[in-house]
Homo-oligomer: A and B are copies of this chain.
Amino acid sequence: MQNSVSIRDLSLSFGAVNVLENLNLDIGNGEFLVLLGSSGCGKSTLLNCIAGLLEPTGGQIFIKDKNVTWEEPKDRGIGMVFQSYALYPQMTVEKNLSFGLQVAKMPKPEIEKRIQRAAEILQIGPLLKRKPSELSGGQRQRVAIGRALVRDVDVFLFDEPLSNLDAKLRSELRVEIKRLHQSLKNTMIYVTHDQIEALTLADRIAIMKSGVIQQLADPNTIYNAPKNMFVAGFIGSPSMTFLRGEIVEKDGKPVFHTNGVDFSLDGYSAAEPLQAGRKVVLGVRPEHVKVNEDSAGAEAHQATVDIEEPMGADNLLWLKHAGHSMSVRVAGARRFAPGTAVRLSFDMGLASLFDAGTEERI
C-alpha cells in the first residue's frame, strides 16, 4: 500500500464553470499535505470531492487503494474539520463527539473509550459537558478535531481550520496540529491560504491556482526554488521582489541587467543556458538581500530607504533601487530613517530567475 489517497483525472464543474480539470495527486501514507492557494482556486472543492461531499464530474478517487469515488462520506475512512468548526450547537461537546458513533450504532462502552482517548489527546476533558457556545474559538476547534479523532479514520481533512481564530490562537493551534500529526501519524490533507501554516505544517505543499496544481513539493523547495512566478510571488511575506530585465553578456558571463544596473549571476544554478538578450525576471526575497550602511563590497548596489516597517523582531525596509521598489528584511534592531542611502548586496544562490514570457523558472 503505497499511497493513502490517490486522485486520478479528477474533474468537477458547477454548470459551465470548470473548477477542477483532470487533476492528479498522490498522497503518501502518513503524509501531511497542504493545499495552498488564493480564495476561489478550488481547494475546498477538491477537499470536498475527497470527502465525498461533492460528486466529481469525472475521474476517480482512491483511498487506501480502494475506489471510493461513489462511496458515501462515512464509508471512506475520512474525518473532516471545518473552518467554522461546524459543531452541532444544540449538543454538548460529548454529544458532538459521540453523534457519529451513535449513528453508526457503536456499542456504548466503545464510544466512551474513544471519547476518553480523544479528550485526553486534545485536553478537552473538562469541557465535555459544555455546549459549543460556552467554548472559546480555540476550544471549539479542538472539539472539531476531536470529532474526526473519535472516528478513528485513515485520513484527516482540514479546511482552513484556523482561519477563524486570532493570530495568537492560530499559532498555538498550529503547533498542536503539528504535534497531533507527529503522534498519530495519520495522513492529513490540509487546506489553507495562509502560507505560514503551509510552510510550518506541510511535508509537501501543493500550490493551486484556478484548479490546477502549480507546484507540488516540500516547503523548502517551494520557498527557495519556486517553479514559476506565481508560486514565487505567492509564498513569502512580503513578496519576493521581481525585477524585470534581460540577460546581457559581460566578461563572457551572463549578467542580469535592469535599468542600467547589472547583477552578477554567479552562484545561480540555471536549468537552461542563459542566452544574452533573453528577457527574464529576477526574483529576490527580502531576507536574501544584505543591507550595508558603508560602501564595502564589489557588487554594492546603491539604494535609498523609502519606508521602514519595524515589526519587533524584524525590520522591513522598502527601498528604491534602480527605479524599482524592493523590500528587504533586516534585524529588528537595525533602524533606518526614510531617505537613508544604503548599499545592497545579493545572495544569488538563493535568488530565482524566470522567463519573462512563460514565467517559468529558468
Q: Residues on A close to B: CB < 8 A?
A: 38-39, 166-168, 171, 174-175, 178-179, 182, 193-196, 199-201, 219-220, 223, 235-239, 285-287, 307, 309-313, 316, 318, 329, 332, 338
Using known A-B contacts A238-B171, A307-B178, A332-B287, determine if residue A312 contacts B199 with beta carbons closer than 8 Å: yes
Using known A-B contacts A175-B318, A182-B338, A194-B167, determine if residue A310 contacts B199 with beta carbons closer than 8 Å: yes
Contacts of A287 in B (CB 8 A): 313, 332
Distance, CA A313 to CA B350, complexed state (A): 11
Do residues A174 and B312 form an inter-chain contact, with CB atoms below 8 A? no
Distance, CA A310 to CA B166, complexed state (A): 20
Do residues B307 and A175 form an inter-chain contact, with CB atoms below 8 A? yes
Chain B: minimal CB distance from A149 (Å): 19
Chain B: minimal CB distance from A167 (Å): 6
Distance, CA A259 to CA B105, complexed state (A): 49
Do residues B237 and A171 form an inter-chain contact, with CB atoms below 8 A? yes
- How many copies are assembled? 2
The 10 A-B pairs of least Cβ separation, nearest first, read A200-B309, A287-B313, A223-B312, A199-B311, A199-B312, A196-B311, A171-B238, A178-B307, A236-B312, A199-B310
Query: What are 6 A-B pairs at a CB distance below 8 A?
Result: A168-B239, A178-B307, A200-B310, A219-B310, A220-B310, A236-B312
Contacts of A237 in B (CB 8 A): 167-168, 171
Do residues B38 and A235 form an inter-chain contact, with CB atoms below 8 A? no
Having A166-B193, A236-B313, one finds 5 other A-B pairs with CB under 8 Å, namely A167-B194, A168-B237, A178-B307, A201-B309, A235-B312
Distance, CA A316 to CA B200, complexed state (A): 9
Contacts of A200 in B (CB 8 A): 309-311, 316
Distance, CA A307 to CA B287, complexed state (A): 23
Contacts of A175 in B (CB 8 A): 307, 309, 318
Do residues A313 and B338 form an inter-chain contact, with CB atoms below 8 A? no
Contacts of A220 in B (CB 8 A): 310
Chain B: minimal CB distance from A255 (Å): 26
Do residues B309 and A329 form an inter-chain contact, with CB atoms below 8 A? no
Among the listed B195, B199, B307, which residue makes an inter-chain contact with A179, where contact means beta carbons less than 8 Å apart? B307
Contacts of A195 in B (CB 8 A): 167, 312
Contacts of A318 in B (CB 8 A): 175
Residue of A168, A174, A179 with highest tally of chain B CB at under 10 A = A168
| A178, closest chain B residue (CB) | B307
Distance, CA A193 to CA B171, complexed state (A): 15
Chain B: minimal CB distance from A263 (Å): 21
Contacts of A309 in B (CB 8 A): 174-175, 178, 199-201
| A329, closest chain B residue (CB) | B313
